[in-house]
Structure 1
Amino acid sequence: MKKFGTLLFTMGLMVIMSCKDSGPKERFLPPSTGGINSLMVVMDTELWKGGVGDKIREHFAAPILGLPRAEPKFTITQIPPQVFKGATAYSRSVLFVEQDSVSSAHIKSDVYAKPQRVAVVTGETYNDMANNLDSIAGMAIAAFRKVEIAEAQRRFKRSLSKETVFEDEFGISLKVPSLYTVGKHEDNFVWMDIQIPKGTMNILAYEMPWDTFSVDTTFVQDIVKMRDSIGKKYIPGPNDGTYMITEKAFSPYVFPAQLGGKKAAEARGTWEIEGYPMAGPFVTYIINDKENNRKMVLEGFTFAPNEEKRDYMFELEAILKTVEIKAKTE
């Protein structure tokens, strides 16, 4: 039986040759399908049950940092190669793993559907496959997340809010779904939210002076101080004297990022209410907006007790990543 990695290469080669014969024609591809953050893993079931499957789960079902309880990066569905045909092949994010005499690890775009990312891993031995999974996992996760973010944005862009509060206050634009409403608008602070079945999803925006984070060694502590001061001033809890703060027990995770074509920092962690038993996850982006001599801060946070929060936070991330920054006018 022809191995799948070889079959995939052969199919790609046939497409290239057909294009050469008939001139530059765009190949028709059906739209990709699947739930947000779903991953189709195509491999023999025996491999899936063993150490190679464990390696896949280690990388692609690892807990997401910053959530109050463990939730996987992707919801994985495993099928054997012979089942991967027809509509199943239209999955947006796909990982092929196969035992083969050729050892390789690579990522392809738009193989069976569009948009689609297909990571292919092959190896002669279990160690070969495991090592190749280790080598490509970071790039594959980034590729899958990118296509999933784009899909989430495509879905909510079909019905966008006409609210101009972000542009009016900060000279920025955000593509926010139409069901979000303005909960608070004060000088240098905007809060929009949406009701969800057991809570709320929230978007915040405010700006800080350009030199707010001038000491690298205290960067994380300064983010906490900033969030806590904003929470005390603008985000009250349910009782008098209560307000939002960053969870005291754990520092947020901080990563480099880029939003609106500018360098930024991404902070993920858990918020809580000072003096009241409420908590949930947040993601904060601190954008280096040198042109406007400021740090532009965008945040998404969720309150959804006893509910899984991964996809709520993913939607908020997708919204915040639509930001476009213009020159602020006085």
Structure 2
Amino acid sequence: MNKAHFLFLFVFLLIISCKKDDHVLARKTTGSINTISVIIDDQLWNGEIGDTIRNKFASPVVGLPQEEPLFTINQYPVKLMEGFMTDSRNIIVVKKEGKNKFEINKNQYASPQNVFHISGKTADDIIAIIEKNSSEIIKIIRQTEIEENQRINNKSQFKTKIITDKFHISLQIPSNYKYVFQESDFIWLKKEIVSGNTSLLIYQVPINAIKNDKNIVSNIIKMRDSIGELYIHGKEPDADMRTEEAYSPYFFKIKIDGKEAYETKGTWELKNDFMSGPFINYAIIDKENDRVLVLEGFCYSPSKEKRDLMHELESIIKSIQIIEK
């Protein structure tokens, strides 16, 4: 009888433990987009280790007209690790300990979550670990924040039937975007914000329009400038959108929806006008449909920071799925 009671108690405690674990994993992360909680004692934060963390994770975002940090960093001492900091989506824990270690824990306290554990015997050891792994950390956090923005966008989706019918694609677009202009091969969507607006362009061109390895960047710039001349105008005469010549665009070769694509980040301006802002352009090589599918986001927000506005546009564009005809 005692053995039976013991066995029953053991099974009961095991079930309760599993339910408790499930409850912990069910906790949802909180916090603003593009934010990192850095758990590190003040003594380390105020020295070379803190400088290294700031240089890596708060470096300027490429493609913006003014300097804005890659991530917003909130620092907390190690003793405050318990509590609301464990609900952050991105946590970097830095300690001086008896061994050198770099470890990534997914969903350690909540979901979705990245917890990066960095420890070292000396300050130089910790700095070396940060230097070695910062690129991977940034890549993981950026992907998590894109997915978080897409989750938010998915809650209140824009009706995209017109876009699907024209371009045979699906996109996760928030419902606060509105149609500004559309033609057979071109759509312009805009969202009004307190400080200005954000825009999304979708269009397609023949597949040979940019396919020249020696001149891809210049061909993309010519392509977007021709679109600006056709469709994007200011109030002044001849005030067409064009790529600002004073800043060289940033160019990357990437994959979107499994297809080769070119990412171009830079600054736009209205010719003969005062308006300007950042843009991000994706030219997707869609060989199956013999076209270059172009999605571009740009914003006008002269009095506000633009990092998170452009991040939302990037998240929308990267939600694309090309539908087979």
TM-score of the alignment, normalized to the shorter chain, above 0.5: yes
Pick one of 21, 33, 41 that aligns with 1:44: 41
Q: Does the 8 Å CA contact 2:251/2:263 hold for their aligned counterparts?
A: yes
C-alpha separation in 2, matches of 1:96 and 1:258 = 32
Pick one of 242, 252, 263 that aligns with 2:249: 252
More deviation, 277-286/104-113: 104-113
Give how far 1:288 is off. 1.5
Change (3 A) 1:294 1:40: same
Change (3 A) 1:22 1:168: closer
C-alpha separation in 1, matches of 2:239 and 2:50 = 47
C-alpha separation in 1, matches of 2:53 and 2:160 = 43
Q: Are residue 278 (structure 1) and residue 275 (structure 2) matched?
A: yes
Give how far 1:67 is off. 0.3
Equivalent position SS for 2:234? coil
1:257 counterpart letter in structure 2:
I
Give how far 1:28 is off. 3.6
Q: How does 1:49-198 map to 2 (within 5 A)?
A: 49-198=46-195
1:174 counterpart letter in structure 2:
L
1:293 counterpart letter in structure 2:
D
Larger radius of gyration: 2
1:45 counterpart letter in structure 2:
D
Give how far 1:136 is off. 0.8
Q: Does the 8 Å CA contact 1:106/1:136 hold for their aligned counterparts?
A: no
Give how far 1:215 is off. 2.0
2:237 counterpart letter in structure 1:
D
C-alpha separation in 1, matches of 2:131 and 2:169 = 39
Q: Percent identity?
A: 40
Q: Are residue 322 (structure 1) and residue 319 (structure 2) matched?
A: yes
Q: How does 1:169-318 map to 2 (within 5 A)?
A: 169-318=166-315
Q: Which runs of 5+ in 1 are unaligned?
A: 1-17
After superposition, the C-alpha distances for 1:297-323 in whole angstroms (9 at most, x for unaligned) are 001000001210001001111111111
Equivalent position SS for 1:62? coil
Give how far 1:221 is off. 1.1
After superposition, the C-alpha distances for 1:173-219 in whole angstroms (9 at most, x for unaligned) are 11111110100001211000010002111000111211222322211
Give how far 1:26 is off. 5.2
Equivalent position SS for 2:220? helix
Give how far 1:271 is off. 0.5
Q: Does the 8 Å CA contact 2:160/2:171 hold for their aligned counterparts?
A: no
Q: Does the 8 Å CA contact 1:252/1:270 hold for their aligned counterparts?
A: yes
Equivalent position SS for 2:145? helix
C-alpha separation in 2, matches of 1:269 and 1:314 = 14
Normalising by structure 2, what TM-score?
Answer: 0.91
Give how far 1:168 is off. 1.8
Q: Does the 8 Å CA contact 2:187/2:202 hold for their aligned counterparts?
A: yes
Equivalent position SS for 2:138? helix
Equivalent position SS for 1:183? strand
Give how far 1:260 is off. 2.1
Q: Does the 8 Å CA contact 2:24/2:109 hold for their aligned counterparts?
A: no
**RMSD value, Cα:** 1.7
Equivalent position SS for 2:188? strand
2:144 counterpart letter in structure 1:
V
Q: Does the 8 Å CA contact 1:231/1:245 hold for their aligned counterparts?
A: yes
Equivalent position SS for 1:157? helix
Equivalent position SS for 2:133? helix
2:140 counterpart letter in structure 1:
A
Give how far 1:257 is off. 2.0
More deviation, 63-72/215-224: 215-224
1:316 counterpart letter in structure 2:
L
Q: Does the 8 Å CA contact 2:61/2:69 hold for their aligned counterparts?
A: yes
Q: Which runs of 5+ in 2 are unaligned?
A: 1-13
Q: Does the 8 Å CA contact 2:160/2:170 hold for their aligned counterparts?
A: no
Q: Does the 8 Å CA contact 2:170/2:320 hold for their aligned counterparts?
A: yes
Q: Does the 8 Å CA contact 1:220/1:251 hold for their aligned counterparts?
A: no
Normalising by structure 1, what TM-score?
Answer: 0.90
Equivalent position SS for 1:277? coil
1:198 counterpart letter in structure 2:
S
